[in-house]
Structure 1
Amino acid sequence: GLGSVLPAELRPVWADSSRRSPLFEWLERFALSPLSERIREARNAQREVPFRIRLDSGTLMVGMIDVIWTEGGKVFIRDYKIGQIDSAPEVLYRSQLLFYALAAGKHFRGSPLDLALVSLKETAEIPIDYSGIPWDGLEKDIAEAARQGAAGPFGPSLSACPSCPWRSECLPGLGQIVGEDG
C-alpha cells in the first residue's frame, strides 16, 4: 500500500488513523469543491508536471508543479498545501510560486499568469500577487541562490531562524526557539 512507498519518517504518521482520517476528510471536501470541479473541467489540466528550464545564465531550474492549465490565453498554476498556510512564512510560499511562474513564463513565452496556493485543509484558494516582479531580477536571484547552494559549505544564519520552517529541527534553530545563543 501507500505506506510502503512513503518516506520512512512519514510512515508512522500514515499508520496512525487518527492523523490519517483528517487528511481523507480534507481531500474529500476538496474533491467536492468548486475549485476542484474547475480543475477537473479544464481540458488541458496537468498534475505533478515536472519541468527543466535553463536560464540565460546557464542555471538549470528543476521542479514539479502540482497543477497547471491554460484557459483563455492565461496560465493557471496551483500549489497544494496540507499545513496551515498562515503558519509558514509568506515569503516561502510566494518564492516557491514565483519560481514556478518564472519557469512557466519561459515555457509559455510571457503569457499572463494566475498563481495561487490551495489549502486542502481549509478548501481555500489564496492568490499570489506577482505584479511588479522584475523577472530579470528574479532570474538573477535564482541563479545566485543556485550558485551559493552549489558552493557550500555554509554556516548557520541565525537571523533567518524566526522564519525558517526547519528551525525546530536544527541545533541553532532550537537555540533560537528556547532563547539561547546559537
Structure 2
Amino acid sequence: MTWTETLTEVIDTRSFSNLWFWIVVAVTWSSASYFVMGVPFDLIQRAKRQGGQAMQDLQDAARISCNRFLHMADTAGLWLVGFVTFFHSAMLVIAFWYWVEFAQAIELIALPMTLVFELTLRLAREVRERGLEGPELVRKLMRHRFWTQLIGMVALFVTAMFGMYQNLTMSPIPGW
C-alpha cells in the first residue's frame, strides 16, 4: 500500500460513514451550547448561584461578546449576509441537486449553525439596547442556550436520519 492510498483511506470524503464527521458534529454542537453568546456556560451558572463578583464577571463577559458580535455585524453585516447566502445557495445546489455527500454533510452542520448565529446576533442587540444586567441577563442567556440546544437536537436527529439513509442506500460495490 502506497502513502497516497493510505492517505486517501484515512481522509475519506464519504462523510456519514466516517467517524471524523461525527466527531466534528459532536464538537460543533457541544461548543455551540457551551458558549452562549461567547460566554462560557459555567460562568453563567456561577453568576446565577453566587451573584456578586461572579455576576459582575458575567456582565463584563457578555458586554465584551455583545460588542464583538455587533461590531462585526455593523461593519461587515451586508457582506456577511451576501457571502453566507451565496455559500448556502451553492452548497445546497451541490448537495441536493448534484447529490454530493460531502456538501450534504457540510450543509447539515452549517445551515442550523447559521440559525444559531442569527439568534446570537439578535440576543446581542437586545442585551445592548435594553442594557440587560443581573438576573434578567442570566435568564436571557439561559433561554438562548435552550433554543441553541433545541436547534442542535433537531439538527442532530435530521443529520443522523439522513446519514443512515445515505449509508443504507449507498452500495459498497460501484454500479449496484
Query: If the TM-score is normalised by the length of the shorter chain, which range does it land in?
Result: under 0.3
With CA pairs under 8 Å and 6+ residues apart, which has the higher RCO, 1 or 2?
2
Larger strand proportion of the pair: 1
Larger helix proportion of the pair: 2
